[in-house]
Amino acid sequence: MKRIFHFLLLISLVTAGTSCKKSDPPLPDNTVNFEAAKQGFEATATEAVIKINLSMASTVAIPLTINLTGTGLVYGTEYTTDPVATNNTLSLTIPAGGSGVSFKVKKVANAVINGTETLDFTITSAGSPIVMGSTTKSQLTFSSITSEGSQLTLKGIAGTEDGSGALNSVYVDLSSNSMVNVNRKSWVLGFSAGNDFRVRLNNTNGTSAIKLNGKVDLNAVSETDVILNDLFITTGVTGAKSFANIDNVKGDITKDIISNVSATDAENMVYVVNPAGGVRGLDVSADNLLKIRVLRKGSGYVLQYAKLKDKTFKTLDITKDPANNFTFVAFPADAQVVNVEPAKTKWDFVWTWSIYYGKDLNKPEDETLTYPYAYSDVVFMNNLGGAQAAEVFTSKVTFANFKESDIAGTSLKAERNVIGSEWRSTMPATGARPDRFYVIKDASGNVYKLRFISMGSGDGGKRGEPVIEYALVKKG
């Protein structure tokens, strides 16, 4: 009798488990879309990158067929593509595990292009189980554009240390409907290209540093000159609440760790830098630390650098490029200049992970009670490049109803953290806040209204890939 009972019990459990699975909601369709419906191709550019994205990574390789239709253009005469098209058709493949693919359009050298030409793309087929999305057509205009607005998914890619961080910093340019994704850990130091001589640490990797007062010779500095814990970043409300070893989280470069580089060499001290970031309980190891000293060289810089334990140092000359906010340097082995930010007129804001600040919830208005905090989904304006922004609550005017006449009553600010972390809520996990949107004025004077649709924490979106919607309010 017991055997029969156990057998019947097992059958009932299996049946119950099966019915639970049947009642689970089906997975959403995996759709394919162009990243933007319209894109510009500036006269000075030689190539443009066209991106195609899936709404989620595919477990199998996905073949795509793209049709090309030119107006005022002939393939091979005015333009080509990489990979090569056959009979105005491109064959692409999104690899298994991937969530997108891209191709390039290249101008033919010495081709006569007057700026009225366009190139239209259509995704005509996609392998199973992919479903066609809402943006299967895109147009490349052979001149710069001022976007009327669009919806973009920022490909930050979650899944770092705690599963919710961002792998990439995503630089967004609203007027061109474009994004540039850069691994946020790809640099350590940023050298100002402006009239000042400042050096920025990478807060998007938790880079920390300390100044060794009175030390001007790298060869004379060793690990005995450093207390390792001084390079550890204590984050969270229960921590030491000290910002003493990280750059100003609000973007005031005059308050950064490394002092303005003096024209008098003897006034430029040695700094010890932890490039890996001493946060989230990671140990600070003397083996990974750098010692650096920065001097002026004409209108640029010379960087002296070595591992903390090394007995000799090397140098790297760094020139200023006025087209950029900073020149960035990484240390894969020897120091080298790397590409990070787009040109300063080619982006409006960046979405990223960063050391930022938290507030004492009992006294949120008291700035003296703030503390370092590791934020995902933080947004910083390109204030150094001329971008401005304002936060607008829907209790005053709705996103749909905000129009050009409302701009005059909007207090635009040239501050880096106008958006910051206020656009979303993770405690409670309600996601993108629907009670506010943002007004952004770019360096060309174009004014956009922008709202965050989803970010994956309680709003049905995907963490690490927030969705934004924006519309042109006034052309500059």
Give the chain's count of helices (H) and strands (E): 1, 30
64 contact partners, CB below 8 Å, separation of at least 6 = 32, 52, 90, 91, 92, 93, 94, 101, 123, 125, 126, 127
**Whether residue 16 has pLDDT greater than 80:** no
Using the 8-state DSSP alphabet, how is residue 311 labeled?
S
Is residue 67 domain-shared with residue 101, that is, in the same domain?
Answer: yes
End residue of a domain, out of 143, 171, 205: 143
pTM for the full predicted model: 0.88
Is residue 284 domain-shared with residue 352, that is, in the same domain?
Answer: no
Is residue 139 domain-shared with residue 150, that is, in the same domain?
Answer: no
Mean pLDDT of the chain: 90
Is residue 237 domain-shared with residue 333, that is, in the same domain?
Answer: yes
Which residues span the domain enclosing 378?
A: 146-184+342-476
- Is residue 9 in some structural domain? no
Q: In the numeric block, which tokens belong to residue 292?
A: 């650096």
Residue 255: left (phi > 0), alpha (psi -120 to 50), or beta?
alpha
Burial of 38 (C-beta count, 10 Å sphere; 0-12/13-18/19+): middle
299-309 mean pLDDT: 97
CA dist., res. 295 & res. 304, Å (int): 8
Is residue 383 domain-shared with residue 247, that is, in the same domain?
Answer: no
Residue 283: predicted pLDDT: 66
Is residue 208 domain-shared with residue 179, that is, in the same domain?
Answer: no
For residue 83, the one-letter residue type is P
Burial of 138 (C-beta count, 10 Å sphere; 0-12/13-18/19+): buried
Residue 370: predicted pLDDT: 85
Q: How many CB atoms lie within 10 A of CB 253?
A: 20
CATH of residue 100's domain is: 2.60.40.2030
Q: Quick check: helix, strand or coil at residue 4?
A: helix
**Whether residue 14 has pLDDT greater than 60:** no
Number of domains forming the structure of the chain: 3
Is residue 220 domain-shared with residue 314, that is, in the same domain?
Answer: yes
φ, ψ at 291 (rounded to 5°): -115, 135
Is residue 420 domain-shared with residue 381, that is, in the same domain?
Answer: yes
Is residue 216 domain-shared with residue 324, that is, in the same domain?
Answer: yes
CA angle 354, 356, 357 (to 5 degrees): 155
End residue of a domain, out of 85, 116, 143: 143
CA dist., res. 152 & res. 134, Å (int): 12
End residue of a domain, out of 81, 111, 143: 143
Tell me the per-residue pLDDT of 406-415, one tens digit each, with 9 for 90 and over.
Answer: 999 999 999 9
Tell me the per-residue pLDDT of 330-352, one tens digit each, with 9 for 90 and over.
Answer: 999 999 999 999 999 999 999 99
Q: In the numeric block, which tokens belong to residue 45?
A: 């550019």
Of the listed ranges 18-27, 148-157, 229-238, 325-334, the one predicted with least confidence:
18-27
Q: In the numeric block, which tokens belong to residue 237?
A: 């409300």
Is residue 387 domain-shared with residue 424, that is, in the same domain?
Answer: yes
Percentage of residues in the chain having pLDDT higher than 90? 76
- Is residue 208 in some structural domain? yes
330 contact partners, CB below 8 Å, separation of at least 6 = 186, 187, 188, 336, 338
Q: β-strands 447-454, 436-441: how paired?
A: antiparallel
Tell me the per-residue pLDDT of 239-257, one tens digit each, with 9 for 90 and over.
Answer: 556 789 999 999 998 899 9
Is residue 206 domain-shared with residue 162, that is, in the same domain?
Answer: no
Are 465 and 451 in contact by the 8 Å Cβ rule? The answer is no
- Is residue 1 in some structural domain? no
Q: In the numeric block, which tokens belong to residue 444?
A: 């060309």
- Is residue 13 in some structural domain? no
- Is residue 14 in some structural domain? no
- Is residue 217 in some structural domain? yes
- Is residue 17 in some structural domain? no
Is residue 300 domain-shared with residue 391, that is, in the same domain?
Answer: no
Q: CA end-to-end span of the chain, whole Å? A: 85
Tell me the per-residue pLDDT of 157-208, one tens digit each, with 9 for 90 and over.
Answer: 876 545 567 899 999 999 999 999 999 999 999 999 999 999 999 999 999 9
- Is residue 157 in some structural domain? yes
